[in-house]
Chains A and B, each alone.
Chain A
Amino acid sequence: MLQVVLIVSAALFSTGLLAALSRRHAIFILIGIEMMLGAANLNFIAFWRFSPQSQPPTGIMIAIFSIAIAAAEAAVGLALVIAVYRHYRTTNVDHLNQLKG
């Protein structure tokens, strides 16, 4: 049973990776990252569910903090995208290659 949940989580993770790697728009990379984080959370909860319970519930805690941090990171990331858009007038990551070389 746990294996199934883990496989689902793995599939979700791979999809998130796909989104992050294959889309051109900067926001979609962020979406992909969020999906990967969600998959990780799923992993943690699954493990919590299928392991001997501990007091405090460690898996839950990790998941909660992970969600909080993901939110903060999404906010900052989107702010970045807006700032970049304002400066370079593009959200196409192919054009954001100033680090080249």
Chain B
Amino acid sequence: MSSVAFVLIAVLTLAAALAAATLQKLMHATLSFALTFVGVAALFFLLGAEFVGLALIFVYIGAVAVLVVFTILLTRRDVGKDRGANWGGAFLAVAMFGGLTWAILKTQSVAIAAPHIRALTVRRIGEALMTSYVWPLQCVGLLLTAALIGALVLVMEEKQ
């Protein structure tokens, strides 16, 4: 694994995330959000979880970001002025980052190098899904069904 690639991708991801958090224009922020996930997927690839990265691209960028765009388009009318910078939120976020970093650095057990691993095949994931994780799989299916129906119900026009 190359450190340079890692650093580059990490920087890209964080920059895009920051942009998504602070940009004024909604569309720009959304596209930055998509870009953030591209970076995250690349990180996944670097870490050897290719399948998950791909899934991330399909789901987040392909579905969620598009949904967000659609919703923004649907709720266009209200484009009032944003309030001033929320210093409380910023402070909290910084505090959170500081705390997490301190916790990570303090923990000795995570100061390790990457071990050598066997390549993860889709076959293995599939096998795992169908045997050990078959019940969670079914539940997730049910959950998705419920979410689908729920979303439909929520946006249905009320009968007059």
Contact = CB atoms under 8 A, between A and B. Distances in A.
B75 A60 contact: no
Given A41-B56, A82-B71, A11 B51 contact: no
- How would you classify the secondary structure of chain A's contact residues: helix, strand, loop or mixed? helix
Interface in A1-58: 1-8, 10-19, 21-25, 27-28, 30-32, 34-35, 38, 41-42, 45-46, 48-50, 52-53, 55-57
Interface string B8-36: 00100110011011100010011001001
Interface of A: 1-8, 10-19, 21-25, 27-28, 30-32, 34-35, 38, 41-42, 45-46, 48-50, 52-53, 55-57, 59-61, 63-65, 67-76, 78-83, 85, 89-92, 94
Interface of B is mostly: helix
B59 A21 contact: no
Contacts of B85: 22
Given A35-B20, A38-B40, A49-B114, A6 B104 contact: yes
A42 B33 contact: no
B144 interface: yes
A3 B147 contact: no
A76 B151 contact: yes
